[in-house]
């Protein structure tokens, strides 16, 4: 597949000047297609984007969550590697529309859901992103609080507000404001930030590995610890819901990846960039977290999975300050790209005349704080099974509809002007495609209807929300993708449009 250079318009479509008004009911400058000459992200830009997003504290803790559930390190890394290879497929399929048409996710969703119905998919994605934004911002602020406390001698005597030391709230608020200040400058600023953030974070993570390796004189016993689950029935009962949870970790991005690929110089750029950036980086980062944790066990007698807690044990002021900057850069790089860009576009799609990209980003920041979603990370069961499992099931359902519509029903052919107009082929019934809504509802019920929790470990009944669907709950993302894909295709294939 040729990598089209800047200025080469083969297989890249754009609107003619004035073809769609930028201030119409369903358009604003942020939602209109990126002009071909402005689609200049290269393979390196996409690789750097994923490296920057993958190297963050929650990614580091994924392996620890799986080990806490009983896996050994090899099983945990295998699960993470397989999950990211699987989620790469919808990333590339949905991302194809970006370089070709220059449109963001909510505009692409207008083709299957309808010009108005796309708000259903967009708001689900936005709500998930707002929750993730809160989680990541709290984790980043807490890391800054711990490291600054170590540099300045601790916060033992600090007064508390709402059960937390006031410096922790201050770190959280300042970090929150810094994130929004960066994204407020727009996508080009994000591209430049990710370009240098990616190598900086890699160096920081490798420095942590070298430091603990030297201090330990090698690595501890963690790498030799057998699995508590073995490879029999007990393992598979944990493996499949964990695999769906690991897929769900990036299933959010598999939906709104056109928000980034719309800036791509060609298909080869996004395909190679994402393939080089996502599965390889996540697997290596999981290995890195296991090796560092193993070294910490040799040094301190117990494994320390949290990298901030581990670094805080050093007495080197330089090391603490470098770790502080690394935590800042790593958390900002993932939080802005993964959790602010999408809802900014999604909210703009809801009310194009009132909300632009910058206002959408500010709304995201406020909502992400108000819903306080960081409580979801309190236990591995709640984080992996409940939060990630529920999110994965719903977003997988939307992904199945998008893939079916773009690749099977329309064969990648879209009419750009009609995506922004009332009364065209994407208007359906009052702006809604009932077939897409039906596929979403049925797929969503099948994917998450059987959600269940062990007694005292989650919000769902032990027998499942819908008991006879309980066997499907452990495969939520896959069930959502497959069921919505098949149902939507069956409903639409008889009336296959040319665009």
pLDDT digits (tens, 9 = 90+) for 4-21: 333 344 578 888 887 887
Asked whether the beta carbons of 179 and 335 are under 8 A apart, the reply is yes
pLDDT digits (tens, 9 = 90+) for 467-498: 999 888 878 888 999 999 999 999 998 776 65
pLDDT greater at residue 109 or residue 73: 109
Backbone angles phi, psi at 242, to 5 degrees: -70, -40
Asked whether the beta carbons of 291 and 209 are under 8 A apart, the reply is yes
195-208 mean pLDDT:
80
For the ranges 95-109, 218-232, 245-259, the lowest mean pLDDT is seen at: 218-232
Is the pLDDT assigned to residue 142 strictly greater than 90?
no
Residue 165's beta-bridge partner residues? 160
Q: Looking at residue 353, what is its pLDDT?
A: 81
144-160 mean pLDDT:
82
Q: Looking at residue 6, what is its pLDDT?
A: 37
241-260 mean pLDDT:
86
425-442 mean pLDDT:
96
Q: Looking at residue 427, what is its pLDDT?
A: 95
pLDDT digits (tens, 9 = 90+) for 22-49: 667 898 888 999 999 999 999 999 998 8
CB within 8 A of 151, min separation 6: which ones?
A: 317, 320, 321, 324
pLDDT confidence bin for 389, thresholds 50/70/90: low
Q: Looking at residue 23, what is its pLDDT?
A: 66
pLDDT confidence bin for 2, thresholds 50/70/90: very low
Is the pLDDT assigned to residue 274 strictly greater than 90?
yes
* 396, 402, 406, 409 alpha-carbon torsion, rounded to 10°: 90
Is the pLDDT assigned to residue 58 strictly greater than 70?
yes
pLDDT digits (tens, 9 = 90+) for 220-250: 766 776 778 888 888 898 888 888 878 877 8
Cα distance between residue 347 and residue 343, in whole Å? 6
- Percentage of residues in the chain having pLDDT higher than 70: 91
CA distances from 303 to 150, 365, 380, 382 (A): 20, 34, 16, 21
DSSP SS3 for 119: helix
248-277 mean pLDDT:
91
116-129 mean pLDDT:
90
Cα distance between residue 415 and residue 436, in whole Å? 19
Write down the mean pLDDT value for the chain.
84
Is the pLDDT assigned to residue 1 strictly greater than 50?
no
Tokens 């909210």 belong to 347
pTM of the model: 0.84
Q: Looking at residue 405, what is its pLDDT?
A: 96
pLDDT digits (tens, 9 = 90+) for 332-388: 888 887 788 888 888 888 888 888 888 888 888 888 888 775 665 555 556 555 666
| 104 dihedral zone (left: phi>0; alpha: psi -120 to 50; beta) | beta
């Amino acid at each position: 597949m040729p990598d089209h250079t800047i200025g080469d318009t083969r297989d890249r479509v754009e609107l003619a000047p004035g073809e769609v008004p930028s201030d119409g009911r369903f358009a604003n400058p942020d939602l209109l297609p990126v002009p071909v000459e402005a689609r200049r992200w290269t393979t390196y830009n996409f690789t750097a984007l994923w490296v920057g997003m993958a190297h963050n504290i929650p990614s580091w803790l994924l392996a620890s969550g799986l080990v806490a559930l009983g896996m050994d390190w090899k099983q945990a890394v295998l699960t993470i590697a397989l999950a990211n290879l699987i989620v790469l497929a919808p990333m590339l399929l949905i991302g194809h529309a970006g370089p070709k048409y220059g449109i963001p996710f909510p505009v692409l969703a207008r083709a299957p859901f309808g010009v108005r119905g796309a708000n259903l998919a967009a708001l689900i994605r936005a709500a998930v992103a707002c929750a993730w934004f809160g989680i990541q911002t709290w984790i980043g602020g807490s890391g800054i609080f711990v490291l600054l406390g170590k540099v300045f001698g601790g916060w033992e005597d600090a007064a508390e507000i709402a059960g937390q030391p006031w410096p922790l709230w201050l770190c959280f608020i300042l970090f929150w404001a810094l994130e929004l200040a960066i994204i407020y400058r727009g996508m080009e600023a994000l591209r430049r930030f990710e370009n240098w953030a990616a190598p900086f974070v890699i160096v920081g993570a490798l420095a942590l590995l070298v430091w603990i390796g030297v201090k330990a004189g090698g690595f501890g016993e963690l790498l030799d610890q057998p699995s508590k689950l073995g490879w029999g029935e007990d393992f598979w009962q944990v493996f499949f819901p964990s695999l769906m949870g690991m897929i769900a970790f990036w299933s959010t991005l598999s939906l709104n990846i056109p928000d980034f690929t719309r800036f791509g110089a060609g298909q080869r750029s996004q395909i190679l960039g994402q393939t080089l950036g996502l599965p390889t980086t996540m697997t290596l980062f999981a290995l890195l977290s296991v090796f560092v944790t193993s070294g910490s066990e040799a040094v301190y007698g117990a494994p320390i999975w949290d990298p901030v807690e581990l670094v805080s044990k050093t007495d080197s002021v330089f090391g603490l300050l470098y770790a502080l900057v690394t935590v800042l850069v790593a958390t900002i790089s993932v939080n802005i790209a993964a959790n602010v860009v999408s809802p900014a576009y999604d909210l703009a799609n809801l009310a194009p005349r009132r909300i632009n990209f910058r206002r959408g980003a500010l709304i995201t920041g406020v909502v992400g704080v108000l819903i306080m979603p960081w409580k979801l990370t309190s236990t591995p069961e709640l984080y992996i099974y409940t939060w990630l499992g529920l999110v994965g099931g719903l977003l997988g359902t939307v992904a199945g509809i998008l893939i079916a519509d773009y690749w099977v029903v329309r064969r990648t052919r879209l009419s750009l002007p009609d995506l922004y107009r009332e009364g065209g082929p994407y208007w359906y019934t009052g702006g809604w495609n009932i077939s897409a809504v039906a596929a979403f509802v049925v797929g969503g019920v099948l994917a998450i209807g059987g959600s269940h929790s062990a007694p005292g470990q989650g919000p769902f009944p032990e027998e499942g929300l819908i008991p006879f669907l309980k066997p499907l709950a452990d495969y939520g993302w896959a069930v959502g993708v497959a069921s919505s894909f098949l149902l939507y295709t069956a409903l639409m294939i008889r009336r296959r449009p040319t665009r």
